[in-house]
Amino acid sequence: MTPPAALFTVATFDTVAEALVVQALLDADGIDVTLLNAGLIGLDWSFSQALGGIRLVVRQPQAERAAVLLRAYRDNALTAVDETGAPPPVERCERCGSDDIVIHAPRRRSALLVAFTLIFDVMFPVRSSLRSCRACGHRWSVDD
């Protein structure tokens, strides 16, 4: 099966699961993604080699951005990127306003977890993480 000329294959995958993860990552970035052969290979993965894998295709204007995200995914380097270049907002103590605070739990979900959330529409329980202020000792929690 040859995709129309306007579509561009940016990656192939052996498993539907990984193809869906990458589809979700690109989709979250506003890239329209189509997976070719996913249905058949999903039924029987042994078709994968015969069909050349699950092909992830995007429209040509979005191919370059998709390739950048794919490289980041394969380098395991996907983190939140602020494209405006603005510094991240500074958290401050609720009580004294100091920015000398300590965060006691990870605040950011991994890209993979975000992808699985998108794919399976699973609602993970809201976690809260603890903050403490080094200036005044105040402690509080923030919902992630």
Q: Rounded to the nearest whole angstrom, what is the least distance from the CB of residue 98 to Zn ion in the complex? A: 5
Report whether 26 contacts 33 (CB < 8 A). Answer: yes
Element (H, E) at 8: strand 7-13
Q: Which CB sits closer to Zn ion, 41 or 93?
A: 93
Q: For residue 9, which of 47, 52, 73, 72 has the smallest C-alpha distance?
A: 52
- Choose between 3 and 97: whose C-beta lies nearer to Zn ion: 97
* Strand ranges in 29-143 using DSSP code E only, listed in sequence order: 33-36, 54-59, 101-103, 128-133, 139-143
Complex with Zn ion: residue 59 or 138, whichever CB lies closer: 138
- Per CB under 5 A, residues contacting Zn ion are 93, 95-96, 98, 133, 135-136, 138
